[in-house]
């Protein structure tokens, strides 16, 4: 009986936190940029374009694994408990070249299509850490004869432009010196 009470209470707290979190602004930044570690190393940059919406550019030049990738995604963020921790869903376009070896010769399989993304993001101070899962759907006429693949990655990004918080703005107005 005691376990049911704690389980019920825990579920109610989580549900209320998720509902209350929908009213919070979902990001602590306006502009971030850094590295992305996925199929290969690359760079990632994001800019907030609306209240809970960002546009994200990811470029992987294929330095180590020979998998070149360029993605332009629009992401919709939703807060979890606080605006420092959020999850996102989105989509956009991508282009990809994957190097394969055929008869001792390098061949690039070129693909382009629509990508979807889902993941989570945590911002602490000037560091933003995001993990994402990206299903990629190919447009017709690709070299690999596949229609679907996935990729995932971890982004470590520096916050260049912080978003002003309501609490900080409130205290600045409260303690502002009057001339």
For 129-160, write each residue's pLDDT tens digit.
999 999 999 886 665 567 888 999 999 999 98
Q: What is the dihedral of CA 84, 88, 94, 96, to 10 degrees?
A: 70
pLDDT tens-digit series, residues 19-66 = 444 434 456 678 999 999 988 899 999 999 988 899 999 999 988 877
Sort 124 into a burial class: Cβ within 10 Å, 0-12 / 13-18 / 19+.
exposed
Cβ(58)–Cβ(70) under 8 Å? Answer: yes
| Total-model pTM | 0.71
Decide which of 73 and 169 is more confident.
Answer: 73
The closest alpha carbon to 55, from 86, 77, 37, 79, belongs to 77
Name the average pLDDT for the chain.
80
Mean pLDDT of the 162-166 span: 69
For 2-174, CATH number out of 3.40.920.10, 2.40.160.20, 2.120.10.80, 3.40.50.2000 equals 2.40.160.20
pLDDT recorded at residue 110: 83
3-state helix, strand, coil in the chain (%, to 5): 15, 60, 25
């Amino acid at each position: 009986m005691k376990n049911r009470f704690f389980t019920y209470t825990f579920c109610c707290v989580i549900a209320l936190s998720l509902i209350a979190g929908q009213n919070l602004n979902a990001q602590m930044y306006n502009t971030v940029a850094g590295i992305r570690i996925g199929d290969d190393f690359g760079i990632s940059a994001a800019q907030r374009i609306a209240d809970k919406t960002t546009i994200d550019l990811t470029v992987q030049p294929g330095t180590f694994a020979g998998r070149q990738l360029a993605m332009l995604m629009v992401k919709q963020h939703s807060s979890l408990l606080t605006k420092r921790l959020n999850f996102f869903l989105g989509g956009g376009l991508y282009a990809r070249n994957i190097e394969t070896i055929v008869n001792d010769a390098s061949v690039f399989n070129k693909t382009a299509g629509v990508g979807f993304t889902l993941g989570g993001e945590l911002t602490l101070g000037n560091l933003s850490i995001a993990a994402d899962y990206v299903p990629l759907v190919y447009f017709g006429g690709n070299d690999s004869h596949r229609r679907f693949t996935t990729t995932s990655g971890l982004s470590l990004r520096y916050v260049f432009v912080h978003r002003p918080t309501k609490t900080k703005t409130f205290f600045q107005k409260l303690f502002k010196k009057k001339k």
